[in-house]
Chains A and B, each alone.
Chain A
Amino acid sequence: MTALASLRDLTVTYRRDGNEVAALRRINLDIVAGERLAIIGESGSGKSTLALAIAGLLPRSARIEGRIDWFLPSSGAKSPPSVLPDISPSRGEIGSSTAGSPIASSAIGETRNEGAISPLEGEMSGRTEGGAKDRQPSTIARDYKPLGGRDIGFVFQDPSASLDPVMAVGKQIAEVARTHLGLTWPQAYAKAKSLLERVRLPDPDSALQSFPHQLSGGQKQRVAIAAAIAASPKLLIADEATSALDTIVQAEIVALIRRLVAEDGMTLLFISHDIALAAELAERIAVFRHGELLELGTTAQIVGAPTQAYTRTLLDAHIGLDAAPLLSRAGLNA
């Protein structure tokens, strides 16, 4: 088991109306390279904050404590096997490393107040380098950090918010390829077309020229996924990426994500409120509640033998096609 990223005592605090609200409390979690890991939780569980923290997309007003260590193989080199670095006890640090050896960590514990950006603005990290980079803590040297779009692809819930409404979708995907892969525009457009084929968008040639409003919700999400994987990221984060879609399209997008992750050997972080959907896709499930990691295990463990009462509550609340009816069906002859 090789870790791709290792979270140690990660704590994220938002300021709201002068109050400090802890969105995540002392999270310890290893993301294993190549795994499909689901993060499950209800509103306010901290699951989206976790996704944004890992992607480096937290608003500057958020205070981050603890560490995220990365073990990104530098070009060509393989990650060395599984020895986790010695975790320094000092808090308020985030470290990063390439090729497995931890490199200098930088203190970022202080609050950054300038220019708060709401995480709800839903920028697609894959599309512009600048958008993601501006949000990186300024004290971290760029070399050590995974770069949004290049190393991490991010798919948000609402593709209408993450895609530029006045730019043809071909250009939006080509821009990522141009920025991160150093391609010329013609090469980047060719790459965009092959990506649209990979995400199975009908008629990729005309889709390149179309605008987001001309596509259905499921098609827009396919475009957002194409942009997210354009630079072949190591980690794909899907934050409620299928929640706004109907059941049939949801199943198609889940199947698409499963196929792309397998084909490219990506690591998947699948954020969802739907434990049944997560169980169909993920190998491991982490259950979050009120900013804390309650339980982490294989999907079979979490679904079959949860140790936490809350996990059991979530499982019981799932209304599947085999659930006992709530309705007493006697007495009304419909």
Chain B
Amino acid sequence: MSLLTISNLTKRYRRGGKTIAAVDDVSFHIDPGETLALAGPSGSGKSTIARLVLRLIESDAGRIEFEGNDFLALGGAALRARRARLQMVFQDPLAAFNPRATVARMLDDPLRIHGIASRAERPRRIAALLERVGLTTDLAPRAIHEISGGQRQRVAIARAIATKPSLIVLDEAVSALDVSVRGQILELLLDLQRQEQIAYLFISHDLGVVRAIAHRVVLLEAGQLAESGDAHAVIDAPQSAIGKALVAAAPRLNRTRP
């Protein structure tokens, strides 16, 4: 059974008297432990889909089924409880987090709010989370703004896995990192997926990264699904116009010109 099933999802915005469909009748599913990538140019609707799935914004039409439940019908306490299973990591953790909060505080919040660990137990759980993402426990008292970008994204991942989610939405989560750090974060994500069977909705404009990490890919253009399938098959031989344009535009080391 699918972990997440999106059916005919639609989100419209009104701009200057005109209605624009940011997401237009999009359907796809994600299996448990699978990485599905959403790729497309700016304005193709990939981040809007992420926000719809997280219910940070509400859709105009369509269904979202998550772990066998009608996710859009949930509200109040039931939605909050279900949200523990559906986590997120954004591009810039410095913008997503209170920069003056400590690393320990960032990890304490989900454990406390979702009632995962008692007050006495939490410091031990925080230490275990830090070690799980490859950080040392002496980072716990440091402020978010004091640590490096790579460390910050590891903290964001630790916070996401604190509630034992079955799905993490990764919205350009490695796009702002230095290339040497990016590889390490991708390895960490793959390791977590293998160990904990976490599924990822991996949003990126970088087809090289998508091809390296995703099982399947959905290509979007102007809010609509342009093409989907096995990540290698789609990227190695794209059929849609946008797929061909994205592949042609990707920088290649072996295409050096005179």
Contacts and interface: CB of A to CB of B under 8 A. Distances in A.
Q: Would you list the 7 A-B pairs with minimal beta carbon distance, nearest first?
A: A251-B249, A276-B251, A334-B215, A317-B179, A42-B178, A319-B208, A277-B251
A275 B178 CA distance: 11
A249 B180 contact: no
Nearest to B245: A248
A247 B180 contact: no
Q: Which of A313, A314, A329, A334 has the most CB of B within 10 A?
A: A334
Contact of A276 (B178, B253, B257): B253
B34 interface: yes
B232 A321 contact: no
Q: Which of A246, A322, A324 has the most CB of B within 10 A?
A: A246
Interface residues of B toward A: which range? 35 or more
Interface string B237-258: 0000000011111111111110
Contacts of A323: 208, 211-212
B41 A248 contact: yes
Given A247-B251, A248-B249, 18 more contacts: A42-B179, A247-B41, A248-B41, A249-B41, A277-B251, A280-B257, A299-B256, A317-B180, A319-B182, A319-B206, A320-B252, A321-B235, A321-B250, A323-B212, A327-B212, A329-B215, A332-B215, A334-B31
A321 B215 contact: no
9 contacts: A246-B41, A277-B251, A315-B253, A317-B183, A319-B212, A320-B254, A326-B186, A327-B214, A332-B34
Nearest to B230: A334
Contact of B190 (A43, A217, A326): A326
A328 B38 CA distance: 20
A43 B209 CA distance: 20
Contacts of B190: 326-327
A294 interface: no
Contacts of B42: 216-217, 245-246, 249
A303 interface: yes
B118 to A, nearest CB: 36
Contacts of B34: 332, 334
A307 B4 CA distance: 48
Given A246-B205, A248-B41, A325 B250 contact: no
A320 B183 contact: no
A252 B247 CA distance: 13
Interface residues of A, number: 39
A142 interface: no
B205 to A, nearest CB: 5
Interface of B: 31, 33-35, 41-43, 149, 178-180, 182-183, 186-187, 190, 205-209, 211-216, 230, 232, 235-236, 245-257
A317 B212 CA distance: 12
A303 B253 contact: yes
Q: Is the interface of B mostly helix, strand, loop or mixed?
A: helix
A314 B182 CA distance: 11
Given A321-B211, A334-B215, A247 B205 contact: yes
Contacts of A251: 248-249, 251
Q: Which of B235, B247, B250, B255 has the most CB of A within 10 A?
A: B250
A21 B20 CA distance: 49
Nearest to B211: A321
Q: Which of B180, B182, B253 has the most CB of A within 10 A?
A: B253
Contact of B207 (A43, A247, A332): A247
A217 B205 CA distance: 15
B16 to A, nearest CB: 10
A247 B206 contact: yes
B13 to A, nearest CB: 16
Given A327-B35, A332-B215, A334-B216, A321 B149 contact: no
Interface string A248-291: 11111000000000000000000001111101100000000000
B180 A276 contact: no
A250 B212 CA distance: 21
A217 B34 CA distance: 33
Contacts of B256: 279-280, 299-300, 303
B251 A274 contact: yes
A198 interface: no
Contacts of B213: 325-327
A318 interface: yes
Contacts of B212: 319, 323-327
A275 B253 contact: yes
B245 A325 contact: no
Nearest to B216: A334
